[in-house]
Amino acid sequence: MEFKDYYVVLGVDPTVDDKAIKTAFRKLARQYHPDVSKHPQAEAKFKEVAEAYEVLHNAEKRAEYDELRENRSRRQSHQQQGRQSGASGSSQHGFAPGGQGGFEQSDQDFSDFFNSIFGSANANENGFQYESRRGRAESSAQKGRDVEIEFPIFLEDTLADAVKPIEYILPYQDSQGYRQEMKKSLKVKIPAGVADGERIRLKGQGTPGSGHAPHGDVYLHIRLVPHPLFDVEGHNLTIALPLAPWEAALGTKITLPTLSGKIQLTIPANSQSGQRMRIKGKGLVSKTGTGDLFAVIKIVMPNHADETTKQLWTQLADKAKFDARAEWNTEPNKERNKEWSNQP
Amino acid sequence: MIQLIISEVNPQLNVEEFCHCASISETLLHELVEHSIAVPVAGVHAHEWLFNITTVSIVKKATRIHRDLAIDWAGIALALNLLDDIEKLKVENEHLKKQLSRFCGE
């Protein structure tokens, strides 16, 4: 087991007082707290820092840890001397405190290293407790812990009631106080119209309560899976509708995909890029009704043009008499340019 | 056999349910309401309050920050508002970037 130097983790000298330890912890906690930090390893870093603080801010634990730390450094220097004098050295690797006693089951938040010194039960008895550490064994009856699970769902599956299978692992403490896990498989009815960020409660499906208290609940945190074609705006959907320039100019009929199947859509002549066409009732289902689908026109040029096509474009350019940049020469723009050109 | 579970979407919780869910005392809930960290969706008097389930995660976040970073409730209310604003801007930015790539991308 790898030895953890808690002083290094907090970036403090082993001789510093409790106040300096607290200051170092607060600084790192602000940097890595999972609720405020965007650091990719924020949670792991924070746990490491919290574990170090847990030990070093408690006089008793700090004294115990310091003793182990000193013993280790004495052993290391002894081994080094042994090696230097040609001895084979001991087979010890890393750190094995307490005659390798320790606990088979590690505490879910503190490292094996911590548990091997202070025991997993000890981790739950002191001041600092992280979220998942709240579910300590209590002698009195107490309702089990609630569990929150991220639940990704496809847009298509929100249109009507759906039954979805779900599997999850529930941690719990057995009567001996050891951490155990149980696997649960359920089928859940997901009602039509669930939205991103909503929570679905599954009563009594959380961790078992202590004594005769009821189980906790499970909360499914709904996450809508991004769709390759549709974007969500409230309960409306948008889709980019690519059109060839001649389709936009002359109008056409196209087949448009919607969440509930394909439909025919008539594109009027002289359609503009960016124009939104509303298809009523083809959005997402919500409590206040069904949203709409907006097809946003995007005029797309062909990648290559052969000689004939080029000639036809040239003919069109000659006959159309169209200035695509006419708005650059409007009066307000001219006035503005004049006004700003007179500035010193 | 796999059990079929009946679910409730966004249930509203009374004070007792809310306090259990968020692992806080009723006294603390009053303080959090005072600072608008927890906002009841219904009920004029404290015993009539109902809270949206999504408020539980806000309150849990607030209590974690209070405990781990030693920030007072007024500071946490401000921090949560700012974090919420950042989150909304991030979502909006992602949405606009996606739209931009749909309309301007290859």
The pLDDT value given to residue A101: 29
Q: What number of other Cβ atoms are within 10 A of residue A166's Cβ?
A: 18
- Which positions ≥6 away from A229 have C-beta within 8 Å? A239, A257
Specify if A142 maps to a domain: no
Cβ count within 10 A of residue A87: 10
Residue A342 falls inside a structural domain: no
Sign of the torsion formed by the C-alpha atoms of B44, B49, B55 and B59? positive
| CA neighbor of A147 nearest in space, from A179, A169, A128 | A169
Q: Which residues in A lie closer than 8 A to residue B87 (C-beta atoms)?
A: none
Q: State the smallest CA–CA distance between residue B9 and chain A in angstroms.
A: 4
Which of these, A285, A287, A264, A267, lies nearest to A277 by C-alpha position? A267
Tell me, yes or no, whether A76 and A101 share the same domain: yes
What's chain A's average pLDDT?
82
Q: Is the pLDDT of residue A78 over 60?
A: yes
The answer to whether residue A217 sits within a structural domain is yes
CA distance A199 to B54: 7
Q: A169, A199, A224 — which closes off a domain?
A: A224
| Pairing mode, strands A289-290 and A285-286 | antiparallel
Cα A228 to Cα A202, A240, B99: the distances in Å are 30, 11, 12
Count of CB contacts below 8 A, A vs B? Answer: 89
Nearest by CB to residue A188, choosing from B5, B69, B103, is: B5
Q: Which long-range contacts (CB under 8 A, 24 or more apart) does A95-98 make?
A: A95/A1, A95/A2, A95/A3, A95/A68, A96/A1, A97/A68
State yes or no: pLDDT of A90 exceeds 50. no
Window from A52-56, A74-78, A130-134, A201-205 with minimum mean pLDDT: A130-134
**What residues pair up with A167 in beta bridges, in sequence order?**
A185
Rounded-to-integer distance, Cα A254 and Cα B5, Å: 43
Query: pLDDT by residue (tens digit) across B2-14?
Result: 677 777 888 899 9
Q: Which of B21, B41, B61, B68 to mutate against chain A (most A CBs within 10 Å)? A: B68
Would you say residue A322 has pLDDT above 80? yes
Task: Count structural domains, chain A.
Answer: 3
Q: Give me the mean pLDDT over the A304-324 stretch.
A: 91
A135-144, A145-154, A246-255: least confidently modelled range: A135-144
Q: Which of B4, B56, B83 sits opposite A36 (nearest CB)?
A: B83
Q: What CATH number corresponds to the domain at position A59?
A: 1.10.287.110
Whether residue A126 lies within 8 A of chain B, CB to CB, comes out as no
Residues of chain A contacting B21 with CB distance shorter than 8 Å: 146, 217
On chain B, the residues whose CB falls within 8 A of the CB of A21 are none
Instruction: Compare A184 and A179 and report the one with higher pLDDT.
Output: A184
- What order of strands is seen across the sheet that includes strand A293-299? A230-233, A236-243, A293-299, A276-279
Q: Which one, of A119, A88, A90, A83, lies nearest residue A102 by Cα?
A: A119
Q: Do B4 and A187 touch (CB under 8 A)?
A: yes
DSSP string for A159-227? SS-EEEEEEEEEEEE-TTS-EEEEEEEEEEEE-TT--TT-EEEETT-SSPPBTTPPP--EEEEEEEPPP
Q: Is position A141 within any domain?
A: no
Residue ranges with strand state E in A191-334: 199-202, 218-224, 230-233, 236-243, 252-258, 261-267, 276-279, 285-286, 289-290, 293-299
Does one domain contain both A120 and A170? no
- The verdict on A155 and A130 lying in the same domain is no
Interface test with B, best of A49, A130, A168, A219 (most B CBs within 10 A): A219
Q: Which of B5, B60, B65 sits opposite A187 (nearest CB)?
A: B5
pLDDT at A62: 92
Q: What confidence category does residue B1 fall into, taking pLDDT thresholds of 50, 70 and 90?
A: low
Q: Are residues A271 and A166 in the same domain?
A: no
Q: Inspect the interface and report whether the beta carbons of B20 and A165 lie closer than 8 Å.
A: no
Judge whether A178 is closer than 8 Å to chain B, CB to CB: no
Q: Are A16 and A130 within one domain?
A: yes
Residue A33 CA, chain-centre distance (Å), reads 14
User: CA of A188 to nearest chain B CA: how many angstroms apart?
Assistant: 5
Mean pLDDT across B90-101? 90
A210-238 average pLDDT score: 90
The pLDDT score that the predictor gives to residue A129 is: 37
Each residue of B44-89: pLDDT tens digit? Answer: 899 999 999 989 989 999 999 998 888 999 999 999 999 999 999 9
Phi and psi angles of residue B33, each rounded to the nearest 5 degrees, phi first: -65, -40
User: Does residue A46 belong to any structural domain of this protein?
Assistant: yes
- In this structure, the dihedral spanned by the alpha carbons of residues A275, A278, A284 and A290, taken in order and rounded to 10 degrees, is 150
Residue A140 inside a domain? The answer is no
Query: DSSP readout, B5-57?
Result: E--EES-EEEHHHHHHHHT--HHHHHHHHHTTSS--SB-SSGGG-EEETHHHH
The CATH number of the domain holding residue A240 is: 2.60.260.20
Residue A332: inside a domain, yes or no?
no
Please state which CATH number belongs to domain B12-104: 1.10.1660.10
B11 contacts on A by Cβ (under 8 Å): 201
**pLDDT class for A243, splitting at 50, 70, 90?**
very high
Alpha-carbon span A329 to A140, nearest angstrom: 81
pLDDT band at A80 (very low <50, low <70, confident <90, very high): low
Both structure tokens of A329: 């020469």
Q: What are the extents of the domains in chain B?
A: 12-104
- Residue where the block lists tokens 């030990």: A55
Host domain of residue A181? 147-224
Phi, psi of A219, rounded to the nearest 5 degrees: -115, 120
Distance CA A295, CA A268 (A): 13
Same domain, A20 and A110: yes
Structure tokens at A20: 């300096």
Contact A158, A220 (CB under 8 A): no
Which residues partner with A296 through β-bridges? A240, A276
Q: Which amino acid is at A75?
A: R
* Direct distance between the N- and C-terminal alpha carbons of chain A, in angstroms, rounded to an integer: 73
Confidence of residue A339 (pLDDT cuts 50, 70, 90): confident
B42 φ/ψ angles, rounded to the nearest 5 degrees: -155, 160
